[in-house]
A and B are shown apart, each in its own frame.
Chain A
């Protein structure tokens, strides 16, 4: 016990729970980056490095969302649809001149959080399988995204509030702070906040405990229902933010925004070492997972691979990561089961 105190900071960081996998995937990330840079030197140009970061940012945010839910031992399939709903609701309110950006954001936030609460209650209180429950809310949220503007993409959000909407676009995506695009800053800030919440607070501990053993957590006095609801609400909040970033990026609402994002979120989490079986994983891993995902997308594009091929490669990598996770962890459990 005393040994941990004497270790230097780097060693202590490396001995942290879940670091093993993070180190492994970080090495994988470096290999990928070097490989893509060798295939096409332009890949490592300053412009593309920034592009890469801007591509990774939203994936990191939804990765955080999915990681929270996965660590409680559940899954959130509604992430992509909530991103879409967020974009469409906000863009509709602004482009039709119903609300200026700030109230529009608040209304949108409320809609998204409702989905989160609903997900959490369906899963934790009414004991629906999370896959089915969030499949349902996924469909509903996508339906709302289509419905709000009568099944069309919205007009430009600049139409009624040229100035406010321009500020909105700058704040959430195009503006720069300290030389870094705001879209990237938002991901960094959310990561810091939610990493703190998960690793340093009571709520975070409860999230891990619920995912590790829901019965033991309950018998230790943990309110597993509210803990699960919190995880789903965090997920919905992150999806809301990504929806808003998307809206700011495009300058209008598109109905297919956020398509398949729930799967990208699973990919970022699982590649980064978050277990689909619950109770294990750290958000540092999700950063690397999101970076690998973004690097693959961007790098394959640079290498000239068409979208279809990119999808196939990324899909295979996701399935392999989950497979490895399940095989390794259940295998480990079986060997320990005999004691």
Chain B
């Protein structure tokens, strides 16, 4: 039996400055199927779906929808064709009613007056079709997340959507709600919709998915019927790259435990996290996006409040209520988002390097900055890290990404820190700068400083770490020595979601 494809994408390419996000990708979707689009972070799944829904314009390739070639895909055109995306973050106005949300942007208007009753009636009909017991007059804000998601689906159905793209739809749902969602997905499938289901929760796929398409590093890898494959096969396709890059790994005898986190809890994303870091080793923290790694580093550093847990530096418990406590205890963080959390971009490089060290540079009650000492510190830091800039008085914003990152790191190393936490230190910087960051990490390792290193780049984690901790859903789900680490193993642990649908 040959089924017609309702969507066909062939040879799609999309380039962003410096990155080839999609490289000759093909994709297709049949009517009446649920297709899981799988891949690691940055594999290109979302980019591909944004190309399909017209959010991004493709650089090359062809899109055929319902038998017609679509030359220029725009969000408006996608809507007309019946292609709808339901994002992970819902886009609803919480203070408006269900019906008002469903009809938002295309209210039924007669003579300039909104026809509330007619809208309510039509909304009720759609909700009924989905067997949802929600009154159209209810305020969306008073509904649970899962119900709000259903409203998004209802909204898509109002536009006669025949292709529904769902991005991580179950992450915020309970088991019962997931079952409800799956029921609706099945119903829509049986009515002839094609559904693209993006999720990292591999264990859920068996309940809903007919076919899988796997992407990796912006390329199409394979497609297969779900019943003919296993999760292990899927994982091996997701991560099965050859690691060609060379990493400047150095070998060091491992020393004593410098840093320890015991039973740290901070909200849903940091649950009972415990780990150690020893002198002479780099501890990599791997995991998928939203695994709680950044939240963990922020909680350790005191940037976000902790609920419970203990932090020890050199065997002694330290109390960290805010970043200044952490800094004083010798625990420092080079945060993930440089421009948002790392740098004062309107200030000079000198100001930025001096900022966390003003307790040393400007001692005493009055705190007059010793400019000679400051100049020495800045000069030492810029020389040490080879920060490229005309002089230290230029705006931090004017530096390249790699040099900005070096400023963020160098400001911490001007003082005697014991533990340095890097959160995605090489994101968005060029290859040469990456190597320089790796060398800095190695230098710290040699100096006996505990290095903790969060990264979503599998090769980097495998190339630099001595020990790898894997997180998923706010918990540590695996830990391994580098000698026994493989991409498959990391991915296996990284997808150990709490199985909400365990039978």
Contact = CB atoms under 8 A, between A and B. Distances in A.
Given A216-B340, A336-B398, A339-B401, A205 B355 contact: yes
Q: Which residue, A212, A218, A220, has most C-beta atoms of chain B within 10 A? A: A220
B356 A220 contact: yes
A205 B398 CA distance: 20
Contact of A213 (B301, B322, B345, B400): B345
A216 B343 contact: yes
Nearest to B375: A1
Interface in A179-210: 200-203, 205-206, 208-209
Contacts of A4: 391, 393
B344 A219 contact: no
A94 B497 CA distance: 73
A338 interface: yes
Interface string A154-194: 00000000000000000000000000000000000000000
Contact of B341 (A200, A215, A339): A215
B346 A213 contact: yes
Contact of A221 (B324, B354, B397, B398): B324
A222 interface: yes
A258 to B, nearest CB: 31
Contact of B369 (A1, A201, A213): A201
B30 interface: no
Contact of B391 (A1, A217, A218, A338): A1
Contact of A202 (B301, B343, B346, B362): B362
A117 B206 CA distance: 60
A220 B355 contact: yes
B271 interface: no
Contact of B354 (A205, A212, A278, A338): A205
Interface in B150-195: none
Contacts of B356: 220-221
Nearest to A280: B346
B351 A220 contact: no
Contacts of A203: 367
A223 interface: yes
A272 interface: no
A311 interface: no
Interface string B62-92: 0000000000000000000000000000000
A8 interface: no
Contact of B368 (A200, A206, A338): A200
B401 to A, nearest CB: 7
Given A209-B355, A220-B356, A1 B379 contact: yes
Contacts of A338: 17
B342 A219 contact: yes
A336 B335 CA distance: 21
Nearest to B404: A339
B325 to A, nearest CB: 9
A17 interface: yes
Given A201-B369, A202-B369, A220-B355, A208 B347 contact: yes
A202 B354 CA distance: 10
Contacts of B411: 220
Contacts of B392: 1
Contacts of A201: 362, 366-369
B323 interface: yes
A220 B327 CA distance: 8
Given A4-B393, A209-B344, A279-B346, A218 B351 contact: no
Given A213-B345, A216-B340, A208 B351 contact: yes
B303 interface: yes
A280 B369 CA distance: 19
A203 B358 CA distance: 9
Given A4-B393, A203-B367, A221-B327, A279 B347 contact: yes
B161 to A, nearest CB: 34
Contacts of B362: 201-202, 205
A134 B4 CA distance: 65
A3 interface: yes
A280 B348 CA distance: 11
A194 to B, nearest CB: 13
Interface string B346-386: 11100100111011011000111100000000010010000
Contacts of A1: 379, 382, 391-392
A222 B347 CA distance: 15
A219 B351 contact: no
A309 B324 CA distance: 52
Nearest to B397: A336
B92 to A, nearest CB: 25
Interface string B391-407: 11100011011000000
A220 to B, nearest CB: 4
B333 interface: yes
Contact of A15 (B341, B342, B347, B393): B393
Contacts of A206: 358
Interface string A1-15: 101100000000001
A217 B327 contact: no
B334 to A, nearest CB: 9
A17 B398 CA distance: 14
Interface in A1-58: 1, 3-4, 15, 17
A221 B354 CA distance: 12
B344 A216 contact: yes
B480 to A, nearest CB: 30
Contacts of B303: 218-219
A250 B344 CA distance: 45
B345 A212 contact: yes
B393 A17 contact: yes
Interface string B456-498: 0000000000000000000000000000000000000000000
B323 A3 contact: no
Given A201-B369, A338-B17, A219 B347 contact: no
A216 B397 contact: no
A201 B369 CA distance: 5
A203 B322 CA distance: 18
Interface in B402-443: 411
Contacts of B379: 1
11 contacts: A1-B379, A17-B348, A17-B393, A201-B366, A202-B358, A203-B367, A209-B344, A216-B343, A219-B301, A220-B327, A223-B324
Those 8 A-B pairs whose CB atoms lie nearest each other, nearest first: A202-B367, A212-B344, A221-B324, A202-B362, A220-B356, A279-B346, A212-B346, A221-B327
Interface of B: 17, 301, 303, 322-324, 326-328, 333, 335, 340-348, 351, 354-356, 358-359, 361-362, 366-369, 379, 382, 391-393, 397-398, 400-401, 411
